[in-house]
């Protein structure tokens, strides 16, 4: 969520520079990890700022505002290799907006410290209700703490990096916390921070269990995550002749590519780092989706699910079938009825609803 729409953490991240507690470096690149766009980036000169963002809507917003988005091309071309960045210890300042998932956040703190030059500063900000206290404690344990400030229910904290203050063993251990690893007895590869990263999401499992085996033709999985639903679609439906996977989070898409590798010899697979809400570039006979109803915050965003449904309606051939799972309370029926010829609720269980919608 951009600061122009109330991103307090982004605003407070730059508070130490506004108050004079920290000075912006005169030279050298300044990586901004998990960067988001907004007016705080533009209220003062930010020479050397290099934004890194693996979530496509935020990356696109940064690019539209003219910021340099690091490795956007590499992430797209390599289906989400967000780790292919320059982490050499050469930067005088590193900024970050840590995620809520603690292992992922710790790995990001370690990357920030490792890429900072001796005497350089790592600055992080988190909302109080999304782990600010824990994040501050983690940075202190890793590299010491040089200062902190609070405003708008957020906390910004920073560390000056040096050999005497950095815990080398902790640094090495935390760098490994974000590494992809086998889950579910080796059935899949996943990593912390990805949606339902260490389990099969209950809603996706329910949808998979209800997929009919007569689905056929060209298919797409919208918001594929690490690839579970795509694997189940191909396992259950031999009539699928090609499959495109769409995912806004590059870190998840890279995992999906690995998890679908066993099917690569059977049919064409496409992996797209893409914001589904912006529409789809191709037409399909079958679309499956467990659409997200949160962006990168806690607030419910049913508009995202409605945008997924609209994109599916536009992309399906006449007679094409959408199979959707959603929390039972989410208000999707109006857009489904407006955009599809036939809509039926296949099942309701465990707080979810399974819907099949057929394009007119």
Question: Nearest to residue 57, comparing CAs of 128, 2, 136?
Answer: 2
Assess whether 262 and 294 both reside in one domain.
Answer: yes
Q: In which element (H, E) is residue 40 found?
A: helix 39-42
pLDDT (average), residues 40-57: 94
Final residue of a domain: which of 134, 156, 178? Answer: 178
Q: For 266-309, how does the pLDDT look when each residue is reduced to its tens digit (9 = 90+)?
A: 999 999 999 999 999 999 999 999 998 766 556 678 899 999 99
Q: How far is CA 225 from the centre of its chain?
A: 9
Assess whether 159 and 243 both reside in one domain.
Answer: no
Are the C-beta atoms of 157 and 147 separated by less than 8 Å? yes
Final residue of a domain: which of 178, 195, 215? Answer: 178
Assess whether 123 and 45 both reside in one domain.
Answer: yes
**% of the chain beyond a pLDDT of 90:** 88
Assess whether 309 and 223 both reside in one domain.
Answer: yes
Collect all residues with Cβ–Cβ distance below 8 Å to 261 and sequence separation of at least 6.
Answer: none
CA 359/CA 247 separation, integer angstroms: 23
Q: For 304-327, how does the pLDDT look when each residue is reduced to its tens digit (9 = 90+)?
A: 999 999 999 999 999 999 999 999
Assess whether 101 and 232 both reside in one domain.
Answer: no
Assess whether 129 and 241 both reside in one domain.
Answer: no
pLDDT at position 293, please? 77
Final residue of a domain: which of 134, 159, 178? Answer: 178
pLDDT (average), residues 127-147: 97
Assess whether 286 and 162 both reside in one domain.
Answer: no
- Say how many C-beta atoms besides its own lie within 10 A of residue 291's C-beta: 24
According to DSSP, the β-strands at 352-358 and 342-349 are antiparallel
Domain that holds residue 106: 3-178
Assess whether 170 and 195 both reside in one domain.
Answer: no
Q: For 109-119, how does the pLDDT look when each residue is reduced to its tens digit (9 = 90+)?
A: 999 999 999 99
Comparing 339 with 163, the larger pLDDT belongs to: 339
Instruction: Give buried/exposed letters for 54-66 (b at 16+ CB in 10 A, else e).
Output: bbbbbbbbbeeee
Query: Is residue 82 pLDDT above 60, yes or no?
Result: no
Put simply, whether the predicted model's pTM sits higher than 0.75 gets the answer yes
Query: Is residue 352 pLDDT above 80, yes or no?
Result: yes
Assess whether 162 and 203 both reside in one domain.
Answer: no
Question: Nearest to residue 20, comparing CAs of 107, 149, 165?
Answer: 149
Q: For 178-189, how does the pLDDT look when each residue is reduced to its tens digit (9 = 90+)?
A: 999 999 999 999
Assess whether 20 and 111 both reside in one domain.
Answer: yes
Structure tokens at 133: 């206290």
CATH number of the structural domain spanning residue 10: 3.40.50.150
pLDDT at position 80, please? 40
Assess whether 194 and 289 both reside in one domain.
Answer: yes
pLDDT at position 213, please? 97
Average pLDDT of every residue of the chain: 92
Query: Is residue 131 pLDDT above 60, yes or no?
Result: yes
| String of DSSP letters for 207-270 | HHHH--TT-EEEEEEES-TTSHHHHHHHHH-TEEEEEEEEESBHHHHHHHHHHTGGGTTTS-EE
pLDDT (average), residues 92-103: 96
Instruction: Give buried/exposed letters for 196-234 (b at 16+ CB in 10 A, else e).
Output: bbeebbebbbbbbeebeeebebbbbbbbbbbbbbbbbbb
Question: Nearest to residue 110, comparing CAs of 101, 128, 98?
Answer: 98
Comparing 86 with 23, the larger pLDDT belongs to: 23
- Say how many C-beta atoms besides its own lie within 10 A of residue 281's C-beta: 10
CA 284/CA 248 separation, integer angstroms: 19
Q: How many domains does the chain have?
A: 2
Assess whether 259 and 353 both reside in one domain.
Answer: yes
Poorest-pLDDT segment among 30-34, 257-261, 291-295:
291-295
């Amino acid at each position: 969520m951009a600061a122009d729409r109330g991103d307090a953490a982004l605003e407070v991240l730059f508070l130490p520079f506004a108050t004079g507690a920290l000075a912006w470096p005169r030279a050298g690149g300044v990586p901004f990890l998990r960067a988001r766009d907004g007016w705080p980036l533009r209220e003062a000169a930010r020479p050397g700022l290099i934004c890194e963002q693996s979530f496509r809507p935020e990356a696109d917003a940064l690019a539209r505002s003219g910021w340099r988005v690091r490795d956007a091309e590499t992430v797209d071309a390599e289906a989400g290799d967000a780790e292919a960045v320059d982490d050499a210890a050469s930067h005088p300042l590193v900024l970050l907006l840590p995620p809520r998932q603690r292992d992922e956040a710790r790995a990001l703190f370690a990357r920030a410290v490792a890429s900072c030059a001796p005497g350089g500063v790592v600055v992080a900000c988190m909302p109080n209700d999304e782990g600010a206290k824990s994040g501050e404690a983690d940075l202190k344990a890793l590299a010491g703490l040089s200062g902190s400030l609070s405003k708008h229910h957020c906390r910004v904290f920073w560390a000056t990096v040096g050999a005497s203050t950095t815990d080398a063993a902790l640094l090495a251990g935390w760098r490994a916390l974000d590494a992809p690893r086998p889950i579910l007895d080796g059935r899949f590869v996943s990593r912390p921070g990805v949606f339902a990263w260490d389990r099969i999401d209950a809603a996706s499992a329910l949808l998979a269990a209800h997929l009919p085996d007569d689905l056929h033709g060209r298919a797409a999985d919208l918001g594929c995550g690490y690839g579970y639903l795509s694997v189940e679609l191909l396992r259950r439906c031999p009539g699928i002749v090609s499959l495109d996977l769409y995912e806004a989070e590059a870190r998840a898409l890279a995992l999906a590519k690995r998890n679908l590798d066993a099917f690569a010899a059977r049919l064409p697979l496409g992996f797209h780092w893409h914001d589904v809400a912006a529409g789809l570039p191709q037409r399909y006979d079958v679309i499956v989706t467990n659409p997200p109803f949160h962006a990168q915050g806690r607030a419910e965003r049913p508009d995202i699910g409605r945008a997924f449904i609209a994109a599916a309606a536009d992309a399906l051939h006449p007679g094409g079938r959408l199979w959707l799972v959603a929390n039972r309370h989410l208000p999707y029926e109006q857009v489904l009825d407006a955009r599809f010829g036939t809509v039926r609720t296949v099942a309701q269980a465990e707080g979810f609803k399974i819907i099949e919608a057929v394009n007119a």
